[in-house]
A and B are shown apart, each in its own frame.
Chain A
């Protein structure tokens, strides 16, 4: 198995076709 302790295992999906229209450019989303 994994020899080191695990913090996270993730599947990170991006569904571009469902982005809001404003996703094409503009000021970034600082959070």
Chain B
């Protein structure tokens, strides 16, 4: 197939009651079946619409806030896909696995690939020095069933995000599977921020489409799900199918079907508690598509021009815990440069009308991000400040009035991995309204 229809489902998870003592296996299964009942409707709907594959979110069957003990009744032993198991046809082959059997039957009965996120338990021996005290490794796990209901992929999440209930696998797993609609890679949520397995799957394994179940808490101005995921698909030049959980109070919303040149479909809803299914037609092999974007040399333009005059009024501001250098867009049009360490960010812009009650700033950051300082970020950002007080630049804000006729943003990046983000007022994307030039400039179209 040259193209296929993809579906992702943003699921409002039915959560368990908070407890410090583990529930019974039966009660755990009862809750998971309630969530699968909802996923079943989405899977049937996806199949009816002709979708080849549906992605469902991380934690969609049981939620979060567990200890190692309280998650245990929700776990099943998930075998290696090399055993060629169709749980729906052979339900007792690997012990008591009702969740895997039901998911497999949903894939088989509806003839659709299904990705689900469930918990895996793997017994270990006491002579294994890292074996946990309960005798099991516990993994946050993605499984994929094909149209026959066969388990074709299993991935254990590597970069855990405050999940004491799960263990980190020994090494990052590089999990792919082939279909007649392209080669797929899978990982989970926070994994997308790291090289392995995320970048390696695209660069070395040449997958066409990444499947990303997530439970993503949105953080403005840089890490809202739809904003970052659409940018990652563009930067990595790969299809990305993202299913997020839906939980408004925890800022969890934002799912999408993203192609290398543009978002195809996305969903962001902070107003309702409802789930949502998305569909879109996607190129099976985006690299062969006429839309496939050219490779970008991200620092080309920024390192070859003479920097614009650095303004005197450069000031420090924070995005999360990261100290950015900012400079204000004080005129309604201009050329600005702001630098931090080895990163200089250049902006040329023209506002259609400068709103009196809004302030924008250009910021640069190059350094280890956050409190733990594990990930090295290089960021150029032009953003609306929360108020007209420039000390609020970098703080979250959700609405704006200022329109731009022209913008061109570039930076002297030391890395080839740069993700272009554009976010409009009320947290919306702008498909088709901007592009990245081969010399690394992020510009508006027209």
Contacts and interface: CB of A to CB of B under 8 A. Distances in A.
Interface of A: 1-20, 22-31
Q: What band does the interface of chain B fall in when counting residues whose beta carbon is under 8 Å from A?
A: 35 or more
Nearest to B446: A1
Nearest 9 pairs of A and B residues by beta carbon = A28-B161, A13-B378, A1-B405, A18-B376, A30-B162, A16-B195, A10-B381, A15-B415, A5-B400
Contacts, number: 197
A10 B444 contact: no
A14 B373 CA distance: 13
A13 B372 contact: no
Nearest to B194: A23
Nearest to B166: A27
A15 B414 contact: yes
Given A2-B424, A20-B373, A31-B371, A11 B400 contact: no
Nearest to A18: B376
Given A13-B417, A23-B375, A6 B409 contact: no
Nearest to B371: A31
Given A1-B403, A4-B424, A14 B375 contact: yes
A13 B415 contact: yes
B221 A7 contact: yes
B430 A8 contact: no
B418 interface: yes
A1 B430 CA distance: 11
Contacts of A1: 350, 352, 403-406, 444, 446
A4 to B, nearest CB: 4
25 contacts: A1-B350, A1-B405, A2-B403, A5-B402, A7-B384, A8-B382, A8-B383, A9-B381, A10-B409, A11-B409, A12-B222, A13-B377, A13-B378, A13-B413, A13-B417, A15-B377, A20-B374, A20-B376, A25-B158, A25-B168, A26-B168, A27-B163, A28-B163, A30-B161, A31-B321
B298 A11 contact: yes
A24 B49 CA distance: 40
A8 B221 contact: yes
A13 to B, nearest CB: 4
B400 A12 contact: no
Given A11-B410, A23-B375, A28-B163, A2 B434 contact: yes
A1 B159 CA distance: 39
Given A2-B424, A6-B403, A8-B222, A14 B161 contact: no
Interface string B382-425: 11100000000000011111111111011101110111111111
Given A11-B298, A12-B231, A22-B374, 13 more contacts: A1-B444, A5-B401, A5-B424, A9-B381, A9-B423, A12-B381, A12-B419, A13-B418, A14-B195, A19-B374, A25-B158, A28-B161, A29-B371
A28 B424 contact: no
B29 interface: no
A13 B411 contact: yes
Nearest to A27: B160
